[in-house]
Amino acid sequence: MKDFFEVDEKQKTVKILNLDDFSVEDLHLYIYELQTEIKRVKDEIRKKENLKINAEKFFK
């Protein structure tokens, strides 16, 4: 995904892209990479939710 994004590591933000500069093929690739990143983030959320549930069970 780094091909598409400029990341500000300090502020943990991503600059918005001007999509006019992309070909249709590039836009399809961009969508695919975004979907992959969404899946990765959802997996991380599930992992953290499970850790929280397990911690709550442990401290009851």
Supply the pLDDT for residue 12: 78
Residue 31 lies in a domain: yes
Residue 1 lies in a domain: no
User: What domain range is 11 assigned to?
Assistant: 7-58
Residue 36 lies in a domain: yes
Residue 28 lies in a domain: yes
Beta carbons of 17 and 6 less than 8 angstroms apart: no
Structure tokens at 13: 């933000």
Report the run of H or E that residue 60 belongs to, with start and end. Answer: none
In total, how many domains does the chain have? 1
Residue 12 lies in a domain: yes
Residue 53 lies in a domain: yes
Positions of the chain with pLDDT under 50: none
Residue 2 lies in a domain: no
This prediction has a pTM of 0.70
Residue 44 and residue 15: Cα distance in Å, rounded? Answer: 23
Supply the pLDDT for residue 16: 79
